[in-house]
Structure 1
Amino acid sequence: MSTVVESIDVEVPVRVVYDQWATFEDFPKFMEGVEEVRQLDDLHAHWRTRIAGLTREFETEVIERVPDGRVAWRTTGESVKHTGTVDFEALDATRTRVTMTMDFQPTGFAEKAADKLGVLGVQVRGDLRRFKRYIEDLTAGADSGRPPKDT
Structure 2
Amino acid sequence: MSTKVEKRIVVDVPAGTAYSQWTRFEEFPHFMAGVDSVTRVGNDRLKWVAHIAGVRREWDAKILEQIPARRVAWAALEGVTNSGAVDFKDAGGNRTELALTLEYKPAGVVERVGDLLHVVGRQAEHDLKQFKEFVERQDRSTSARGPADSSSGWRQDYRFEHPFDQTNGLVDLEGESGGTADGENYSAAERRQREEHSRGLPPTPGGSDVMGF
The TM tier, using the shorter chain, reads: over 0.9
1:51 deviates by 3.5
Q: In the TM superposition, what is the alpha-carbon distance from 1:93 to its structure 2 partner?
A: 4.6
Quote the Cα distance in structure 2 between the aligned partners of 1:93 and 1:68: 16
Whole-Å Cα distance in 2 between the matches of residues 102 and 50 of structure 1?
16
Question: 2-side partners of 1:133 and 1:40: how far apart?
Answer: 28
User: Higher mean Cα deviation, 111-120 or 84-93?
Assistant: 84-93
Counterpart of 2:60?
59
Greater per-residue strand proportion: 1
Residue 50 of structure 1, CA deviation: 2.0
1:93-151 deviations in Å (ceiling 9; x for gaps): 510001100111111001111111100000000000000000000001111129xxxxx
Equivalence for 2:140: 140
TM-score, length basis structure 2: 0.66
Q: Percent identity?
A: 34
Distance 1:114 1:52, change over 3 A: closer
Give 2:120's aligned residue: 120
* TM-aligned CA deviation for residue 18 of structure 1: 0.4
Is 1:90 the equivalent of 2:90? yes
Aligned to 2:50: 49
Contact 2:47/2:61 (8 A) holds in 1? yes
Q: Matches of 1:114 and 1:55 in 2, distance apart?
A: 14
1:53 Cα offset (Å): 3.0
Could you say which residue in structure 2 is the equivalent of 1:108? 108
The answer as to whether partners of 2:52 and 2:111 remain within 8 angstroms in 1 is: no
Q: Which residue identity does 2:4 align to in structure 1?
A: T
- State the Cα deviation string for residues 52-107 of structure 1 (Å, max 9, x = none): 43111111101111111110110011x20011110000112510001100111111
Contact 2:53 2:111 in 1 (8 A): no
Could you state the TM-score of these two structures normalised by the residue count of structure 1? 0.93
Say how many residue pairs are matched.
Answer: 145
Q: Report the Cα offset of residue 42 of structure 1.
A: 1.4
> Secondary structure at the residue paired with 1:91?
strand
**Equivalent position amino acid for 2:83 in 1:** T
User: Computing the radius of gyration over CA atoms, which structure comes out larger, 1 or 2?
Assistant: 2
1:25 matched to which residue of 2?
26
1:145 maps to a residue whose letter is: R
Cα-to-partner distance string for 1:10-58 (whole Å, 9 max, x where unaligned): 0000001001101100000100001111001111010111234311111
Query: Aligned-residue CA RMSD in angstroms?
Result: 1.2
Instruction: Give secondary structure in 2 for the equivalent of 1:110.
Output: helix
Residue of structure 2 equivalent to 1:7: 8
The equivalent residue for 2:72 is 71
- 1 CA distance for matches of 2:15 and 2:63? 20
* Distance in 2 (alpha carbons) for counterparts of 1:65 and 1:93: 24
Aligned partners of 2:108 and 2:85: how far apart in 1? 24
